[in-house]
Structure 1
Amino acid sequence: MSNPDGAATTGGFAIPGTVDIDAGILDRMIEVRRHLHRNPELSNREANTQTYLRQMLAGQGIADIRDVAGFGLAVDIVGSGKPSNRKVAIRADIDALPIEEESGVEFASVNPGVMHACGHDAHASMAFAVAVHLHQSRADFGGTVRLIFQPAEEDEPSGGRRVVEEGLLDDIDAAICVHVDPYTPSGKVAVNSGPYTLACDTFDAVVTGSAAHAAKPYEGIDAIAVACSMVSELQKIVSREIDPYDPLVVSVTGINGGNAYNVIAGKVTLKGTIRSGSDATRERTWRRVRA
Structure 2
Amino acid sequence: MLTAELMKRLDAKEQRIIEIRRHLHEHPELSFEEEQTAAYIEDFYKDVPVDTVETDVGDHRGIVVTIKGEKPGKTIAIRADFDALPIQEETGLPFASKTEGIMHACGHDGHTAYMLVLAETLAEMKGQLTGTIKVIHQPAEEMPPGGAIGMVKAGVLDGVEAVFGIHVMSTMETGKIFYRSGNTQTGRARFKLHIQGKGGHGSSPHMANDAIVAASSFVMNCQTIISRRVDPFDTAVVTIGSFDGKGQFNVIKDSVALEGDVRTMSHESRELVEKQVRQFAEGLETSFGVETTLKYANDYPVLYNDPGVTEQVRQALEEAAIPEVSAVTEVAPQPPSEDFAYYLQEKPGCFFYVGAKPEGKESYPHHHPKFEIDEKSLLISAKAMAAVVGAYCGRGE
TM-score, scaled relative to structure 2: 0.64
Retained in 1: the 8 A contact 2:67–2:122? yes
| 1:24-39 alignment, distance < 5 Å | 24-39=12-27
Write the letter of the residue equivalent to 1:89.
A
Distance change in 2, residues 1:105/1:258 (3 Å): same
Q: Find the aligned partners of 1:276 and 1:149 in 2 and give their Cα distance.
A: 27
SS of residue paired to 1:180: strand
| 1:179-198 alignment, distance < 5 Å | 179-198=167-186
Distance change in 2, residues 1:218/1:60 (3 Å): farther
Q: Find the aligned partners of 1:218 and 1:96 in 2 and give their Cα distance.
A: 50
| Map of 2:69 onto structure 1 | 79
SS of residue paired to 1:169: coil
Distance change in 2, residues 1:23/1:227 (3 Å): same
| Map of 1:211 onto structure 2 | 199
Distance change in 2, residues 1:177/1:197 (3 Å): farther
Distance change in 2, residues 1:178/1:285 (3 Å): same
**Residue from 135, 150, 173 that aligns with 2:138:** 150
Q: Are positions 1:238 and 2:226 aligned together?
A: yes
Query: Which consecutive residues of structure 1, in runs of 5 or more, have no partner in the other structure?
Result: 1-6, 8-13
Alignment RMSD: 2.3
Structure with greater proportional helix content: 2
| Cα distance, 1:61 vs structure 2 | 4.1
* Number of equivalenced pairs: 277
Retained in 2: the 8 A contact 1:258–1:266? no
Distance change in 2, residues 1:165/1:18 (3 Å): closer
Retained in 2: the 8 A contact 1:258–1:264? no
| 1:246-285 alignment, distance < 5 Å | 246-285=234-273
SS of residue paired to 1:175: strand
Retained in 1: the 8 A contact 2:6–2:121? no
Write the letter of the residue equivalent to 1:71.
R
Q: Are positions 1:22 and 2:10 aligned together?
A: yes
Identity of aligned pairs, percent?
37
SS of residue paired to 1:77: strand
Q: Are positions 1:141 and 2:129 aligned together?
A: yes
SS of residue paired to 1:21: helix
Deviation >4 Å, runs of 4+: 14-18
| Cα distance, 1:191 vs structure 2 | 2.4
| Cα distance, 1:93 vs structure 2 | 1.7
| Map of 2:331 onto structure 1 | none
Q: Which has the higher contact order (CA 8 A, sep 6+)?
A: 2
| Map of 1:162 onto structure 2 | 150
Query: Which consecutive residues of structure 2, in runs of 5 or more, have no partner in the other structure?
Result: 280-397
Q: Find the aligned partners of 1:43 and 1:243 in 2 and give their Cα distance.
A: 35
| Cα distance, 1:260 vs structure 2 | 2.9
